[in-house]
Amino acid sequence: GEVAVGNLHGDVTLWQFYDLHCPYCRAAAADVDALIRADGKLRLVLVPYAVLSVQSVRGAMVEIAAAKLLTPDQFLDFHRRIYANRGVIDGPKVLAVAKDMGLDPQKLAASANTQATLDILRDSATFGGDAGLAATAAYVIDGVAIVGHPGLTALQGVIRSVRACDKVAC
């Protein structure tokens, strides 16, 4: 279910764990978007971490199915458009965004509603729980978890540190 975007061969990889139903993740999306646009050497891995509600699970299931059909750049655009919606983000809202991007919502829903998709979400939830990701948005960089969104400036600082000394703080 994870999708790498940005520079796929970047020198630093930042993993973002998000829940589509999370208001903090929605706010963080603008910072993460600015980060990926400004840093041409960054590899960002988006990981659906649907832990807050049934609505977020349903939305994530559709997003995972769409990821199989879209290029990384298309998926990043899809992800941006999802967060541009107002209100609760759920399966129907994610399907509407997919339809606007030219995907067949019925085929996408059928692909999303599988045990394999649920297994992907379960694996993400298990990893997140084991890693202590007790909040969304959460990040992992250079083996270190950052729980909660620290803001654009802080993320840029961590990335600079990893580049300078191979640690999240020099």
pLDDT of 36 over the 90 cut: yes
Residues 39, 97: Cα–Cα separation, whole Å: 27
Under the banding of pLDDT at 50, 70 and 90, the label for residue 154 is very high
User: CA angle at residue 145 from 147 to 26, to 5 degrees?
Assistant: 40
What mean pLDDT do residues 152-166 have? 97
Residues 128, 18: Cα–Cα separation, whole Å: 10
Mapped onto helix, strand or coil, the DSSP state of residue 52 is: coil
pLDDT of residue 21: 87
Tens of pLDDT, residues 88-114: 889 999 999 999 999 999 999 999 999
Helices (H), 68-151: 72-84, 91-100, 105-112, 115-130
Token duo for residue 150 = 């620290």
CA 149, 41, 14, 86 torsion-angle sign: positive
Say if residues 60 and 1 touch (Cβ distance below 8 Å): yes
pLDDT of residue 153: 96
